[in-house]
Structure 1
Amino acid sequence: MLKQRILTACVLAATFLVVLFFLPVPLFPAFVATIVLIGAWEWSNLSGLKSVAARVGYLLAQAAAIALAALYVGLVSLGTPLEPTAPSVIDSRYAHLLLIGCTWWAVALLWVQGYPSSSLLWARPILRALMGFFVLVPAWVGFSYVRLQDDGAWLVLMIVAVVAVADIGGYFVGKRFGRRKLAPAVSPGKTWEGFLGGIGANMLFALALWLLLGSPLLAVIALVVPTSLISVIGDLLESMVKRERGIKDSSALLPGHGGVLDRMDSLTAAAPVFALVLAMSQGPFG
């Protein structure tokens, strides 16, 4: 199992890096949309949709939501050439969608904290299905926006690195010092000590970026720390929904790793938060 897990991780990492740095930038949103739609198929199962027709319908609805988002921000047009749009307007449109996504994660935090009592508000299959739109579409918007920036590939890699550092720091600190449970009804293995360890590790990561890149320290911290904080909520939210559904993994698509959602749960929360901070740093938006 360990060998299979390592092999799958190596293939995923190599594929991601090749796509990130060598796929033409305009095609990157389409690649992310493909991954997100695989996640949408898995979320249809988490939602409790049982028939193939219902799950296909859900997949098409998610695809339509991504298409509408792409139209709104100006990535695609309905058969007419895209008119030049001021960068500030583009940033503003992305920021509106990202703000919706970040607001959703604030609600998700309350639901995770209140589980299992909070399940009264969202446990019905139709509500869990609706939840998937707020998880997946803003993630697509976030990754698409970040990749389109100058040095966008490195910024996307930075999102992944922040999540990885939070996971690694949280694991080792939690394993050594973990005592107080973070969300025992959702994920009994996570502790407050591990959570703080992940944040501390990312503070060190921010300091390393500041020293290496010479960027303003406060600007780096403003990107890294909120992204690290919210990534934990992404992980806990999927764990909560899987627990409600009574399954361990979102699917068996990735040998040794479960499903796509099991690998991108933290990223679905991290991407829109990182992107919103980045969009706000570009200047005023309305």
Structure 2
Amino acid sequence: MPQLTVGFLAWAVGFAFICGALLLAALSVIPATARAARPLWPVFASEAVIVAGGVAPWLLSAPLLLGCLMAAGARIGFESGTVHGLASGRPMAMAAALLLVLVCLFGWFAPGSVVLPAGLAMLLLGVSLARLDGARSLSGSLGRFLIFPATPFLIFAYAASQPPLSPLLLLAFFLVEIFDSFSLLGGKLFGKTPLVPRLSPKKTWEGLATGAFALLAVTLALSAWPGPHALSMLLIAVTVMIAALAGDLLGSAAKRRAGVKDYPPVMKVQGGLLDIVDSWIVAGAALAGLAAVMGWTAS
């Protein structure tokens, strides 16, 4: 298991943010890239808030971390329920917010031998409801809510409660931010070929390639730190890339079904909280699952 601590990862995220500011500043003054780079500054400024919100909870005590997760769960549930309610024509925002808080508490306090089967059962139930019921039925919307965000958030909350696993969630945050940021930058600079035009029209293959290259480069750089093994870090990078893209597309599918661009906003530039953390929730849960399969432990 890569021996990366919360303290080291917090430092790495801050260092990467400073490097990102310097890179964007350089691109903003180079004539060939200035026109595409300069409009990204408002997005980058909002990233400062996201970075602080993504890192700070992991430096707090366990009860405060749980409180942060419950607050996030309530907001994510509200946003997801609002969007699924639009699709089904039935209000479900408050019920979804309460349900995700309960999912968070169950994931935090239940043992892993119970959480993992419960997550699988929740996922299978969600798939069954989504397939058996119409796209605009309440039960179909509930099924899609169980698939995402409920199931990955359950695993995320469990991993957050386990000191050996919680550094993986911060690692997932770091790598998702690298992947998303460079995918956005690459798409702005080089993007021509749509990746998934029906779900996310602005995503391009060129942006994906740029994000993947940056993700692999940062992951291999982390493997130079004492402890991580290069092959393990490469496996983590591939897992994060696939999971982050899946989380993003799952979030986009719900919005497209409801006919909206963003979840209920918390930040003008970024949209809703679920717009910000959709990839992280799935990537964090995926890394926790990978750790279980590989038998990893962390210090």
AA matched with 1:134: I
1:137 aligns with 2:150: yes
Counterpart selection for 1:273 from 271, 282, 286 = 286
Query: Residue by residue, what CA displacement relative to the aligned partner does 1:112-169 show, whole Å, maximum 9, x if unpaired?
Result: xxxxxx9x96443431232112212333333334334446554322111111111123
Query: Residue by residue, what CA displacement relative to the aligned partner does 1:44-71 show, whole Å, maximum 9, x if unpaired?
Result: 111125666x432333333344444445
Query: Residue by residue, what CA displacement relative to the aligned partner does 1:227-252 show, whole Å, maximum 9, x if unpaired?
Result: 11121121122222212212122112
1:1-286 matches, within 5 Å, as 8-21=46-59, 23-49=60-86, 54-70=92-108, 73-74=110-111, 90=112, 92-97=113-118, 122-150=135-163, 152=165, 154-282=167-295
User: Matched residue of 1:188: which SS?
Assistant: strand
CA distance in 2, matches of 1:248, 1:130: 21
Contact 2:168 2:287 in 1 (8 A): no
User: Matched residue of 2:268: which SS?
Assistant: coil
After superposing the two structures, state which structure 1 stretch, 261-270 or 127-136, moved more: 127-136
Identity over the aligned pairs, expressed in percent?
24
CA distance in 2, matches of 1:16, 1:209: 19
Contact 1:39 1:261 in 2 (8 A): yes
Contact 1:69 1:141 in 2 (8 A): yes
CA distance in 2, matches of 1:104, 1:209: 38
CA distance in 2, matches of 1:151, 1:124: 41
Aligned residue-pair number: 253
Pair 1:253–1:133, CA change in 2 (3 A): same
TM-score by length of 1: 0.74
CA distance in 2, matches of 1:132, 1:175: 32
Pair 1:223–1:208, CA change in 2 (3 A): same
How far residue 261 of structure 1 moved from its aligned partner, in angstroms, is 1.0
Query: Residue by residue, what CA displacement relative to the aligned partner does 1:196-239 show, whole Å, maximum 9, x if unpaired?
Result: 33222221122111112331212122222111112112112222
Contact 2:248 2:279 in 1 (8 A): yes
Contact 1:180 1:191 in 2 (8 A): yes
Contact 1:181 1:190 in 2 (8 A): yes
User: Matched residue of 2:292: which SS?
Assistant: helix
Question: Which ranges of structure 2 fall in alignment gaps of 5 or more residues?
Answer: 1-38
Contact 1:182 1:192 in 2 (8 A): yes
How far residue 42 of structure 1 moved from its aligned partner, in angstroms, is 0.9
Contact 1:101 1:135 in 2 (8 A): no
Pair 1:55–1:144, CA change in 2 (3 A): closer
TM-score by length of 2: 0.71
Question: Which ranges of structure 1 fall in alignment gaps of 5 or more residues?
Answer: 75-89, 112-117
User: RMSD of the TM alignment (CA)?
Assistant: 3.3
